């Protein structure tokens, strides 16, 4: 009898535990499993993905960037730039209040940008966005002019990043004093932070800044968001399976692939804009100094099949130097060399590369068709062997050597590679300058070592061009030059991976792949 009542008690305890979990979900508490704990939630101090993710739910930007890459009004209702892109005038909203009740105004913008330009930690991302920043002029309470010493064509886009969002001026002294005074205007109010455990945000009932691309306006649907810090991949997944968390970040691709058919979970992937992971082909080293060899390499690689096998289909293959979600993407430069092994072989034969001794490796003038491939397993482990096999099938010999990043940098700087992995996440194609401007060959990352006057001209002029159409045309031409000269073998776009409970609705990525939880609700 005693035993029986104990059993009943246990059952009740279970029911109570499970009951409270589902009750919580109904009340609108969303628990998110983060892989890395943020270092700070101060916009001017952040730099990492989890920081961006949390910051953009507490603060608002002057301008939002929609998932479509277009700009939407945020704290600024209108904006304009002068002719040479050095001065930007913003009309500010007058009906927005910070979480502490103080009014958002021009002074707050000036204080925020002045502070962001200095940065508050050595690794802050904000200062790099404001290198040519001169000052913010407060014209009146609802108007500011932001001034730069040189053209800043990407400033309006940059404003949408978490690092330039606007904190309450009243909280700055506390922030600088190391207090957790994270006060913004965003859809959620910072509530508490238990170190190495969780960060809790509560709904802002007065929220009225939601951008037009959101599904609703006014306050967020969720009452509370709890960001749990769960550094172990396996722990995060268990948290999802037990209902402890409803969204988790970065599952292992194998686990994620195993859940694709699970009706209880949904998988969100985001193909990041910018330069996809690709192999930069050295145009100065034998045998890749021969354009035909570079074209044949491109024809020999089946990105689709490689990525299906390597990432179990969760990472998208790439076929150009700019991924399709990037601004100024040029579809004409995409997939210029579709996979065709026979064509690859034919191009090599025609160019005089013949396997005369029957060892499976082609030669020309007594020199073997050998590719030096230094690889960094941290980034390339999933595809490097398949890439090598693809090239071997066309008659290349591939010397695949794994190295650490120091080794890769040394080989790349010396130009001892034939192919070398590279990639760069960015909404704007301006990053092409870092990896293709010939002045970056020595001491930079221009590992194709390609020298072309027109490409250099474009990559120098475009970042200074303010007119979007003109700028777009320049970058489209750059993509064509790069792909026509077969300077790279595109491999895959970068992706963000989140796994969520099937009941989560309204999950959305912003233009750079950070999740937006403003629209999230639970299916009843």
Partner 1 sequence: MNEIKRIYRDKPNPRPNRARQLITNFNFVVGLTLLSVTIFIAVLAPLLATDDVNKADPRASFMPPSANHWMGTDKLGRDIWSRFVFGGRVSLVIGLSAMVIGMCAGTVMGIFAGFYGGWIDSAISWITEVLMAFPGILLALTIMAILGPGVNNVILAVGIGTIPQFMRMARSAVLKTREMDFIDAARTIGCSDARILFRHILPNIIQSVIVLATLGIGSAILEGSSLSYLGLGAQPLTPEWGSMINAGRTFLQNAWWVSVFPGLGVFLAILSINMLGEGLSQVFDPVNQ
Helix (H) or strand (E) holding 270: strand 265-271
Cα distance between residue 132 and residue 155, in whole Å: 11
In the block, residue with structure tokens 């590679």:
417
Q: Which CB sits closer to partner 1, 27 or 401? A: 401
Phi then psi dihedrals of residue 410, to 5 deg: -65, -45
Q: How far apart are CA 175 and CA 184, in angstroms?
A: 12
Whichever of 106 and 388 has its CB closer to partner 1, that residue is 388
CA-to-CA distance for 278 and 268, rounded, in angstroms?
23
Q: Whose Cβ is closer to partner 1: residue 180's or residue 386's? A: 386
**Closest approach of partner 1 to the CB of residue 435, in Å:** 25
| 471, two tokens | 């700028």
CB of 333 to partner 1, least distance (A): 28
Q: How far is the CB of 75 from partner 1 (least distance, A)?
A: 44
Q: Work out whether strand 274-281 and strand 419-425 pair parallel, antiparallel, or are unpaired.
A: antiparallel
Task: For residue 176, give Cα distances in angstroms to 103, 124, 179, 231.
Answer: 21, 14, 7, 28
Minimum distance from residue 377 beta carbon to partner 1 (Å): 6
Q: Is the dihedral of CA 201, 204, 205, 208 positive or negative?
A: negative
The nearer residue to partner 1, 154 or 392, going by C-beta atoms, is: 392
Cis peptide upstream of residue 287 (ω within 30 degrees of 0): yes
What tokens were used for 484? 């026509």
Report the C-alpha gap between 475 and 132 in whole angstroms: 23
To partner 1, the closest distance from the beta carbon of 268 in angstroms equals 22
Min dist. Cβ of residue 283 to partner 1 (A): 25
Least distance (Å) between residue 74 CB and partner 1: 41
Supply the DSSP string of 109-166, one letter for each residue.
HHHHHHHHHH-SSTT-SHHHHTTTEEEEEEEETTEEEEEESS--TTHHHHTTSGGG--
CB closer to partner 1 out of 9 and 254: 254
Q: What are phi and psi of 429, to 5 degrees?
A: -75, 5
Judge whether 317 and 307 are in contact, CB under 8 Å.
yes
Q: State how beta strands 224-229 and 29-34 pair.
A: parallel
Cα(77)–Cα(183) distance, integer angstroms: 21
- For partner 1, which is the closer residue by CB, 62 or 375? 375
Count of alpha carbons within 13 angstroms of residue 231, beta-carbon side: 5
Residue placing its CB nearer to partner 1 in the complex, 8 or 410: 410
CB of 403 to partner 1, least distance (A): 7
Q: Report the nearest approach of partner 1 to the CB of residue 164 (Å).
A: 38
Strand partners, 397: 370
Nearer to partner 1, 111 or 411 (CB): 411
Q: Minimum Å distance from CB 375 to partner 1?
A: 8
Nearest residue to 92 (alpha-carbon basis) of 39, 29, 132, 139: 139
Interface residues toward partner 1, by CB under 8 A: 252, 254, 258, 305, 308-309, 375, 377, 384-386, 388-389, 392, 398-403, 407
CB of 34 to partner 1, least distance (A): 21
Q: Which residue's CB is nearer to partner 1, number 146 or number 388?
A: 388
Q: Token digits for 511?
A: 């233009």
Shortest distance, position 338 Cβ to partner 1, whole Å:
19
Distances in whole angstroms, Cα of residue 468 to Cα of each of 47, 72, 503: 28, 16, 41
* CB nearer to partner 1: pick between 308 and 335: 308
b vs e for 380-404, b when ≥16 Cβ sit within 10 Å of the residue's Cβ?
Answer: bebbbebbbebbeebbbbbebeeee
Closer to partner 1 by CB, 446 or 489: give it: 489
Using CA atoms of 25, 27, 33, 34 in order, give the dihedral in degrees to the nearest 10: 160
Residue 430 CB, nearest approach to partner 1 (Å) = 34
């Amino acid at each position: 009898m005693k035993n029986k009542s104990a059993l009943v008690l246990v059952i009740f305890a279970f029911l109570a535990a499970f009951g409270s979990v589902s009750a919580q979900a109904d009340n609108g508490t969303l628990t998110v499993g983060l892989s890395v704990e943020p270092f700070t939630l101060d916009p001017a101090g952040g730099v990492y993905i989890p920081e961006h993710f949390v910051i953009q739910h507490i603060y608002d930007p002057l301008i939002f960037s929609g998932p479509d890459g277009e700009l939407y009004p945020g704290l600024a209702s209108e904006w304009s730039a002068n002719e040479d892109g050095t001065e930007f005038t913003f009309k500010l909203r007058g009906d927005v209040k910070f979480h502490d009740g103080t009014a958002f105004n021009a002074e707050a913008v000036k204080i925020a940008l002045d502070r962001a330009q200095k940065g508050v930690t050595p690794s802050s991302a904000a200062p790099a966005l404001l290198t040519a920043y001169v000052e913010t002029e407060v014209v009146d309470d609802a108007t500011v002019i932001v001034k730069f010493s040189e053209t800043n064509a990407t400033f309006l886009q940059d404003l949408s990043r978490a690092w330039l969002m606007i904190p309450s001026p009243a909280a700055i002294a506390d922030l600088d004093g190391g207090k957790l005074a994270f006060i913004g205007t965003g859809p959620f109010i910072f509530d508490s932070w238990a170190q190495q455990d969780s960060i809790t945000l509560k709904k802002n009932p007065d929220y009225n800044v939601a951008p037009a691309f959101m599904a609703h306006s006014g306050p967020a649907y969720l009452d509370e968001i709890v960001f749990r810090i769960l550094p172990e991949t396996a722990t995060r997944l268990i948290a999802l399976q037990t209902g402890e968390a409803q969204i988790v970040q970065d599952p292992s691709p194998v686990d994620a692939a195993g859940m694709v058919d699970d009706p209880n979970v949904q998988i969100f992937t985001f193909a990041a804009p910018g330069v996809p992971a690709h192999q930069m082909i050295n145009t100065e080293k034998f045998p890749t100094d021969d354009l035909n060899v570079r074209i044949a390499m491109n024809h020999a690689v089946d990105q689709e099949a490689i990525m299906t096998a390597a990432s179990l289909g969760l990472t998208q293959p790439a076929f150009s130097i700019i991924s399709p979600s990037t601004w100024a993407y040029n579809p004409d430069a995409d997939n210029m060399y579709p996979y065709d092994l026979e064509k690859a072989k034919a191009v090599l034969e025609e160019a005089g590369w013949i396997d005369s001794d029957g060892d499976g490796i082609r030669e020309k003038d007594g020199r073997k068709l050998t590719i030096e491939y230094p690889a960094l397993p941290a980034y390339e482990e999933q595809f490097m062997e398949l890439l090598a096999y693809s090239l071997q099938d066309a008659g290349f010999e591939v010397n695949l050597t794994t190295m650490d990043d120091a080794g890769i940098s040394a080989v790349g700087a010396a130009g001892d590679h034939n192919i070398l992995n590279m990639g760069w996440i960015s909404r704007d194609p301006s990053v092409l300058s870092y990896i293709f401007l010939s002045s970056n060959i020595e001491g930079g990352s221009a590992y194709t070592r390609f020298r072309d006057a027109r490409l250099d001209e474009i990559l120098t002029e475009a970042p200074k061009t303010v007119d979007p159409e003109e700028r777009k045309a320049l970058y489209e031409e750059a993509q064509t030059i790069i792909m026509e000269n077969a300077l790279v073998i595109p491999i895959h776009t970068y992706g963000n991976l989140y796994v969520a409970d099937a009941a989560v609705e309204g999950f959305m990525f912003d233009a750079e792949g950070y999740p937006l939880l403003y629209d999230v609700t639970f299916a009843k």
